[in-house]
Amino acid sequence: MSSNNAPKKQPRSRYAVLGMLSMGLETGYEMKKHVEQNLGHFWSESYGQIYPVLRQLVEEELATCESENRPGERQRKRYSLTSVGWAELRAWLIRPPEPPPPRLELLLKLSFGRRLPIEACEKLVGDHREACGRDAAQLSSIESALRNAANRHPDQPFWLITLRYGRTLREAECAWCDETLEQLRNMREEDEQPSGSAVRE
Amino acid sequence: MSSNNAPKKQPRSRYAVLGMLSMGLETGYEMKKHVEQNLGHFWSESYGQIYPVLRQLVEEELATCESENRPGERQRKRYSLTSVGWAELRAWLIRPPEPPPPRLELLLKLSFGRRLPIEACEKLVGDHREACGRDAAQLSSIESALRNAANRHPDQPFWLITLRYGRTLREAECAWCDETLEQLRNMREEDEQPSGSAVRE
DNA sequence: CTAGCCATGTAATCCGTTACATGATTGG
DNA sequence: CCAATCATGTAACGGATTACATGGCTAG
């Protein structure tokens, strides 16, 4: 009852950094770039998190830091995982992720949709539809580029899994948008002839 | 260049509250309940946001507050929108939502999947598959209950739209899980016979 | 020489949750 | 009378982004 047995919740950035260390990325700068270029479709991270986390990991001896730069080498700090770090990474990996409280702004807006002219709702959904279509296409092309890549990274199969996730979900959103747009069109047409042949109950 | 012309970004809770005021909800308590019971599948809100926002809306004259309770009535504060409040709500509604930085923990874990035995990855995805299935079923049942409801709220068509969103996306996730589980099974089988009839290029 | 990238870091701020505190009212 | 629910609020904390500050190195 009293003992707080849970292993103390740590920020997710910490594990993102541990994971990137585990794949051989050595500097904070590299990690930021990797997030932007390769994980951008499902993760984001800022310097304001990365550098403090790296310092903290060294303090807790989950990672070590080499500050020395061989002369002529660009000044930078190279980090690497300790065995304790590996263990903590693995422990986190098998922990089932807990979903964050949902906050889907588009749906919130639509749930208040009656306060708007229907055309405005159609605009909201239409814009979203376009964005999703673009995203899906882009993910799809990254996917096939990666599949056909000459030099394949050992993590490649897992990257493909994440890409397929993004594509699948975007495609589903496109389908939802299309259905929704049709429904909105119907509502608008009903609105436009409230008299006519309408039978009231 | 210098003039900050943008209308100053406000927290989303503010607009959630404005929206709920626009549908006739009058007290903070009511709003919290409404979020939990009706918007729970795409939105969340805590008292720690709701009450301060209400106070602030009154200060800015977007809402008014009636503190008096008729005798015998439960003590509570009843809020309602002013015309300025309505205007701000509408302005927000037509603004295209900007997507928050992505943070999909499951995908982050899977992208580091090679650090785990494949069975552990299968567990992660399998658990997710179950959760999505449950969610999809639940949303689906809410959907049909709402469609067949006797007393239909004027906002009902829009609520159905949000429910369909949730269901569609969950179903897509289920499909992704199933595909992924199969892919992982294949990877595991390949792993288990690295010799055998494998032809090494 | 200088523009731009490499590289590290901090301070301010923000949005939001959690935990806590209080008390009135109602139903059994 | 007691438990549950109605109802309002605040304080502490936390995770994360943004903006800022600094400086070395490199290519043109």
A52: domain CATH number is 1.10.10.10
Q: How far is A177 from A175, CA to CA, in rounded Å?
A: 5
Residues 6 or more apart whose Cβ sits within 8 Å of residue B52:
none
Phi and psi for A79 in degrees, rounded to 5?
-105, 155
Report the gap between the CA of A68 and the closest CA in chain B (Å). 29
Contacts of A159 in chain B (CB under 8 A): 111
pLDDT of residue A195: 66
Tell me which residues of chain B, numbers 84 to 143, contact chain A at a CB-CB cutoff of 8 Å: 86, 89-90, 92-94, 96-98, 100-116, 120, 123-124, 127
Regarding whether A137 and A79 lie in a shared domain, the answer is no
pLDDT of residue B48: 98
Regarding whether A134 and A73 lie in a shared domain, the answer is no
Q: What is the span of the domain harbouring residue A113?
A: 105-192
Regarding whether B84 and B20 lie in a shared domain, the answer is yes
Tell me the average pLDDT across A43-69. Answer: 95
Residue B18 is assigned to a structural domain of this protein: yes
Which residue reads 């927000």 in tokens? B92
**Listed residue (A140, A16, A6, A114) closest to B107, CA to CA:** A16
The alpha carbon of residue B12 and the mean position of all alpha carbons in its chain are separated, in whole angstroms, by: 12
Helix (H) or strand (E) holding A78: strand A78-81
3-state SS class at A79: strand
At residue A1, does pLDDT exceed 70?
Answer: no
Is the distance between the Cβ of A55 and the closest atom of strand C smaller than 7 Å?
yes
Residue B38 is assigned to a structural domain of this protein: yes
Regarding whether A53 and A32 lie in a shared domain, the answer is yes
Last residue of a domain, one of B94, B113, B140: B94
Encode pLDDT of B68-98 as tens digits: 766 667 789 999 999 999 999 999 999 999 9
Regarding whether A119 and A187 lie in a shared domain, the answer is yes
Regarding whether A112 and A88 lie in a shared domain, the answer is no
Tell me the average pLDDT across A69-86. Answer: 86
Instruction: Choose between A113 and A201: higher pLDDT.
Output: A113
B44·A101 Cβ contact <8 A? yes
B114·A162 Cβ contact <8 A? no
State the Cα torsion B18-B20-B26-B31 to the nearest 10°: -110
Is the distance between the Cβ of B10 and the closest atom of strand C smaller than 7 Å?
yes
pLDDT of residue B1: 40
Domain count, chain B: 2
Residue B5 is assigned to a structural domain of this protein: no
pLDDT of residue A201: 47
Regarding whether B120 and B86 lie in a shared domain, the answer is no
At residue A168, does pLDDT exceed 70?
Answer: yes
Encode pLDDT of A175-196 as tens digits: 999 999 999 999 999 888 766 5
> How many Cβ atoms from other residues are within 10 Å of residue B53's Cβ?
22
pLDDT of residue A129: 98
At residue A130, does pLDDT exceed 60?
Answer: yes
Residue B197 is assigned to a structural domain of this protein: no
Regarding whether A128 and A78 lie in a shared domain, the answer is no
Regarding whether A112 and A74 lie in a shared domain, the answer is no
Residue B47 is assigned to a structural domain of this protein: yes
Residue B99 is assigned to a structural domain of this protein: no
For Cα atoms A32, A38, A39, give the angle at the middle one, nearest 5 degrees: 75
Regarding whether B109 and B184 lie in a shared domain, the answer is yes
pLDDT band at A198 (very low <50, low <70, confident <90, very high): low
Residue B196 is assigned to a structural domain of this protein: no
**Listed residue (A62, A64, A51, A65) closest to A88, CA to CA:** A62
Residue to test with chain A: of B158, B171, B187, most A Cβ within 10 A: B158
Regarding whether A82 and A111 lie in a shared domain, the answer is no
pLDDT of residue B41: 98
Residue B158 is assigned to a structural domain of this protein: yes
pLDDT of residue B8: 76
Regarding whether B187 and B135 lie in a shared domain, the answer is yes
| Segments of chain B with pLDDT less than 50 | 1-4, 201
